[in-house]
Amino acid sequence: MRLPLARLVDTTRPLEGPGRWRRSLLFGAVALAGAVAAGLLPAAAPRALEAAWLLVAVIVLSTALPWHRWPPAWQAAPAFGYLGVLLLFDYGSGRENAPIFVAILPVVWLALFHSRRLLVAGLAVLGAVLFVPPLLLPAEYPIRPWASLGTAFALAVLLGVALHELVGRQRAVADALERARFDRDLARAYLQTVGALVLVLSPEGRVELFNNRSEQVTGFSAASMVGGEPWQMCTDPDGFRERLTRALASLEPVKFESDIRTAAGVRRHISWVLSALTRDDGGAWAVIAAGVDVTEERAAQRLFAHVLSAATEQMIFATDTTGRFTAFNPGGERLLGYRAEELVGVQTVEIMHRPDELAARARHYGMDSFREVLATATKDESAFTQEWQLIRKDGSEVPVSMTINPMRDDDGTLTGYVGVAWDITRQREVQAATAAALAQEQAATEHARELDRVKGDFVAMVSHDLRTPLTSIIGNTELLLDETGELSTVQRQLLGAVDRNARRLENLVSDLLLLSGVESGKLQLQLRPVTMGQVIDGALEALASKRSADIAVRLEVPADPLRVLGDPAQLERMVTNVVGNALKFTPPGGTVTVRATSDGDYVDLSVADNGIGIPEAELPHVFDRFFRSSRSREQQAQGTGLGLAISKSIVDQHGGTIRAAATPGGGTTFVVVLPRLTAAESTAKEPA
């Protein structure tokens, strides 16, 4: 950077600053010399003495008055005081040296107030005045010795003062230049290390300085940019040039943002500030262009704005630390009815909250205001979620769930909050409906439990009341059939029918009691290791008397015993019910296949028949109590519809599953799956 000399040292005000008293003392010495000469020389006149005292007064005034407030020309007035001294010597020498004395004054003026070149020219003129005339004068021209002595004294003093001032001024200029170089180097070093792009531009737009950060961001070297114009990297050179002209004209900082294109062809977005550097006369001699790369920041802002505008189902807003809105998205406008410009920078979040709700939340946490609650809740940078009743612009209220997150800068200082809220009106309606349905379901469950209890009591009562007379009926029937003597054929048939129906009724009562006990949990299983082959054999033996000779039973049980942990009697009852059901609905000539297998951890028992089958739509209901398939009713097959329901309850109590499926080609297949016992587990669980 080039600094004009006028900015470094001001040579037009020599009587300002510390040198003012020193120069005044030199003036005073000359004045005293003139006064002595005026008093001692015989040719002195009263006017000379008056001139000497006038000169002393001028010197005093030059020291005491505030010369720095006077125009530069008036500050040169003390130099004219020399004229009085010269006149004194002139009076003493008979006015023979007046031209010489008059010539000295301009030299002193030049030494004090002007450049070195003018001073040399003045000394040359003075030498010509002093030495040329004596050469031209006749030899007999008399020169008084005391006049020559006075002239030499005056010249020595005046020239000494002039030379002293010249040397001092040159030294001041050198010091000022040295300080300027130091300041320039310091400023250059600072500009090179600062984290912003810095360009120093001349008024013509030439680059005077291109710092390191500018090289890093743009990819252009300082050597290629200094002396050239910055327009080569601007995507809008005319806009940059226009703002530079405005900064030079207004002398005010000009802020703007523009894109540049790096040496690699990449666009970067820069935020610029152009500041003019001014001279003392008010004109600009350079412009500093300071820029910050805000490409990522603006991209993040655009992304944030896109998210704000895209989120139409949620209200997204941001506030400063005082709660004043700094952002408000279209979703918030739709939810509350406010436009963004009505809130951003104008209103605080209190406008959308009920005061009583804020106060109640603060009291709940034992604090004076909800802002204290928010500051405490977000101190650990965690989100803070609560439900609120927000007030719309039209005064209506809307329930929302709101999550608040703190925003912090790189130093961890809290800068504001970001909130996301969404309408939970529908959610609350669903919750209310769910709660009502749950209450209704609980009531229905309680009612069902009550019905089950009443049913259990009824079954127990009926079973007890039925079992006693049934026992009597069966016993008396047997007695009549066996021990009462000879019966007619009709009598025996009637008693046989009574016995059969009584026993059917007894079985029904037993099934009801068993099912009630299983479902109520009152049935206690006697668990021990059981071999499935033994269970199947027991069931087939129990069914031997009821099995038709025309129906084949195929048994497929592996030689390796398949063990389960169960109650042998209940498992045998379950297998009896399932196999008996298959036999009942298999026509003569049909086959019932009983197969036991294992896939490792489980034992699979399947019973398949090729009988009348069960319609696909009725399969999910085969284990319901008292269910009888439509085909069973068509054939008027006997049964209570409790056998399969009892079987499922027994399987469930053993931790297994049972399912029914249609057999390919006709019929039905029932599959029972039970947990298998390993050999080690079987040994450990054997009763002692």
What is the block-wise mean pLDDT of the chain (688 residues), using blocks of 10 residues?
33 44 56 58 57 62 57 54 57 51 57 56 58 52 48 55 60 76 76 83 89 89 88 87 90 91 90 87 85 84 72 83 86 90 84 88 80 68 82 92 86 85 90 91 87 72 72 79 75 80 75 69 80 91 80 88 90 90 85 89 91 80 76 61 84 91 84 84 57
Same-domain check for residues 533 and 387: no
pLDDT the model gives residue 11: 35
* SS3 track for 132-198: HHHHHCCCCCCCCHHHHHHHHHHHHHHHHHHHHHHHHHHHHHHHHHHHHHHHHHHHHHHHHHCCCEE
pLDDT the model gives residue 440: 92
Same-domain check for residues 262 and 327: no
Same-domain check for residues 534 and 654: yes
Single out the residue in 176, 209, 229 at which a domain terminates: 176
> How far is C-alpha 620 from the geometric centre of its chain's CA atoms?
54
pLDDT the model gives residue 593: 92
The amino acid present at 537, given as its one-letter code, is D
The 10 Å Cβ neighbour count of residue 544 is 8
Q: What is the pTM of this model?
A: 0.39
Answer yes or no: are the C-beta atoms of 523 and 517 closer than 8 Å. yes
Query: 347 phi and psi, to 5 degrees?
Result: -110, 160
Answer yes or no: are the C-beta atoms of 564 and 525 closer than 8 Å. no
Q: Which domain holds residue 268?
A: 194-293
Same-domain check for residues 288 and 304: no
Give the tokens for residue 300. Answer: 């993040």
Q: Residue 384: which CATH number?
A: 3.30.450.20
Same-domain check for residues 61 and 172: yes
pLDDT the model gives residue 12: 37
Query: 580 phi and psi, to 5 degrees?
Result: -60, -35
Single out the residue in 270, 293, 316 at which a domain terminates: 293
CA atoms within 13 A on the CB side of 499: 14
d(CA 622, CA 606): 16
Whether 218 maps to a domain, the answer reads: yes
d(CA 154, CA 160): 10
Measured between alpha carbons, how far apart are the two ends of the chain, in Å?
108
d(CA 336, CA 325): 14
Same-domain check for residues 681 and 564: yes
Same-domain check for residues 168 and 205: no
Q: Residue 435: which CATH number?
A: 1.10.287.130
Number of domains in the chain: 5
pLDDT the model gives residue 682: 60
